[in-house]
Chains A and B, each alone.
Chain A
Amino acid sequence: MLPRTILYLLVLMIFMASCNSNKSNRDGGLSYWSSSNSGEIEFSKVMVNRWNLLHPNEKIQYQPVPEGQSSEEIILAAVVGKTTADIYSNMWQGSVEFYAKANVLVPLDTISGFMDFLYSRCDSTTINEITSDDGHIYQMPWKINPIMTLYNHTIQSDLRIDAGPLSYKKYLEAGEKIKKDNSGDGYIDQWLGITSTRIVWYQRLFNFYPLYLAASKGMPLIENNKAAFNNEYAIEVFQFLQDIYKNEYFTKDQEAATQDKFIGQTVFTKFTGPWEVKYLDKFKPEGMDYDFTNIPVPDDHEGPIYTYGDPKSIVIFNTCSNPNLAFDFIKTMVVTSGDSLFLELSNQLPRRTGIDTITAFQDFFTNNPKLKIFAQQSKHVRGIDNCDVIVEVFDIISQEYEACVMYNVKTPEQAIADAEKAVNVLLGAR
């Protein structure tokens, strides 16, 4: 009996030892995770294969980020278990500060050559935006998907965008013309647009936040550890959205996975990004045409129109044994030739200056004219403020958004003031 027990214990111990993933077995190489987007997978495979051919002694092991409900959850679990890859290229900009404060990321500005490279790629506004509270930079800006107004061509004249940018007045007046009760049952069944009514914090990134950036020319929500959004712009945005729902220009219903009201042509505008182009070209009905324009702005707006760029960055985790080598690999992905290939394979825009002017990208935009407007917009995009509790900030704003915009239980002034108060309490309690 006893020898058999010892045998079982031995087998168990051997099994548990073999479960240990020993990263140091990679013989000088590194590991890299990309997102599970098919275009990015294709791009990553090409870049990794090229690198491995040129660096046989410093190979990169590649895989898409492991499957899960969201990549953020997978990364968090991997960080806790110390099983992250060395390099990860789908980090949401808003998450970087959270991980930076936990000392999980390598400060890239400490790597030789990084800052020079960064200044050659991005403007100083972007660089300021990605600089953490401690003065270090933990992310390489990689890609953006600017949020703009998608519209069905049949309402182009109603939007009057030939005579200047899309404004609140033009948008609301178009809404009055477009909303209809086609079935005659007393309920509107044709609307100007749709946006998510869920109060989940990230949904505000696709309605409130782009509108706020557009109205305020890119002002931050948080500044000097205090709420900075209690201003005329946020109030105007809340008022604009409240008017939209009050007048039933947008439906409050959620779209099901099998319903697309834009393709079904019961809504005629959406706030969305360049990913919509491939999707619409595949599924839109014959004869339907669409285009993009700016996010609506206040009627007296002058100057550039900003929007939210949904930026993602490349990071190096502190478990990486050779950050300099990791940076050398990252550089190959974000030089002009890498960006050009990225555009071709993924239809997503690199976060860099000159997307709309650099010769290397011109062929792509000639072949994909609908994406050209996003390239032009890329000069005026913002990401997220560097704040490790930005999720809670957006949650607070979402709560007030619902109360004011969706259900009219607060005025815009009251809602924004309440949001400011709650955010300041949150930031003060950290």
Chain B
Amino acid sequence: MPYLLASPYLLHLILFIAFPIVFSVLLTFHKWNIISPMEYIGADNFIRLFHDRLFWKAIMNTLVFLVIHIPLQIIVALALAYFLNQKLFFLGFFRAAFFLPVIISGVVVTMLWQQLYSFDTGLLNGMLTSVGLPRVAWLTNSKIAMVSIAIMATWKNVGLYVILFLVGLQSVPRRYYEAADVEGASSWQKFKYITLPAINPTIFMVTILSTIGGFGLFIEPYIMTGGGPLNSTLSAMLYIYKQAFEYYHMGYAATLGLFFAAIIMLVVVIQKYTIEKE
């Protein structure tokens, strides 16, 4: 009876998690284009991976994105959560408004921002020129295209982390702040010595979630830039997608995917031991 009750989940686990993982590992030793029989090629895919300059560029681009996106996300989410933790009029409206982008389709948001970033007709450049500033090539300048994508991704996802930080802030006991007031602490001192240490577990969780989410960067470069300009926004996930679904190099794509998963695990483990320790 217990096995019968657990069987739907077991079936799901085997079909949609265990089997794909095992099959992916198997694929890394083969050449396969989906419609022809698989051809065993040994470690050729791994050798190719280490010589694939474009893949390493994609990895670097993804790391650049994370370096911009994660701190930005944490700072903005924390600031907004701090603001929403006050007694304000229309507090419910603001909380809903900040969370709304999280539930809107990523494709829709990306297309919307593509228009905002448009060099000729975009709202952002329109605002800049109206105050006498020059237009910015948000998506066509290789030095800032990834920054533009990071800003957009932050806007899209920050609502979720605002909620997490809000919960964290509301769980800090009020008596700590009252005691600090008695001692004459400033707002900044209260934030630095009471709030931040108290919400450290939340900061850790937001960092891990942002990192894992950030490694999955795909929709934004796929729709907005196609990986350009000059491969500056080519993310690892987009490159793996191209190998699998544009070139049908399934074996090589599986190899890239497995390697990339290992990198993500390594980064998360490092974060766990550094941030949690602090």
Contacts and interface: CB of A to CB of B under 8 A. Distances in A.
B is bound to A? yes
Q: How large is the interface on A (under 10, 10 to 19, 20 to 34, 35 or more residues)?
A: 35 or more
B34 A80 contact: yes
Interface string B195-231: 0000000000000000000000000000001111111
Interface string B21-33: 0000000000001
Interface string A1-18: 100010000000000000
Contacts of B230: 402-403, 407, 409
B35 A199 contact: no
Contacts of B154: none
Name the prevailing secondary structure of the A interface residues: loop
B135 interface: yes
B129 A199 contact: no
A150 to B, nearest CB: 20
A201 B135 CA distance: 29
Interface in A194-248: 197-201
Interface stretch (B93-101, B118-126, B255-263): B118-126
Contacts of A50: none
B4 interface: yes
Interface in A237-285: 251-254, 256-257, 259
B228 A395 contact: no
A139 to B, nearest CB: 17
A399 interface: yes
Nearest to A252: B140
B247 A391 contact: yes
A254 B229 contact: no
Contacts of A251: 119-120
B120 A253 contact: yes
Contacts of B225: 198
Interface in A376-423: 389, 391-392, 395, 399, 402-403, 406-407, 409
A79 B35 contact: yes
Contacts of A257: 111
Nearest to B34: A80
A253 B121 contact: yes
A256 B114 contact: yes
A134 interface: no
Nearest to A79: B35
Contact of B129 (A73, A185, A389, A402): A185
B246 A406 contact: no
B246 A76 contact: no
Contacts of B140: 197, 252, 406
Nearest to B249: A392
B188 to A, nearest CB: 43
Nearest to A8: B4
B271 interface: no
A13 to B, nearest CB: 15
B231 A399 contact: yes
A334 to B, nearest CB: 27
Contacts of A102: 33, 35-36
A402 B228 CA distance: 8
B246 A391 contact: yes
A99 interface: yes
Nearest to A399: B231
B247 A187 contact: no
Given A1-B1, A5-B4, A256-B114, 15 more contacts: A79-B35, A80-B35, A99-B35, A187-B129, A197-B140, A200-B226, A251-B119, A253-B121, A254-B114, A391-B246, A392-B247, A395-B247, A402-B229, A406-B140, A406-B229
25 contacts: A1-B1, A76-B35, A79-B34, A80-B34, A98-B248, A99-B35, A187-B129, A187-B135, A189-B120, A198-B228, A199-B228, A200-B226, A201-B246, A252-B119, A253-B118, A253-B119, A253-B121, A256-B115, A256-B118, A259-B121, A389-B247, A399-B231, A402-B228, A402-B230, A409-B230
Q: Return the 7 tightest CB-CB contacts between A and B, nearest first.
A: A102-B35, A102-B36, A198-B226, A253-B120, A199-B228, A199-B226, A200-B226
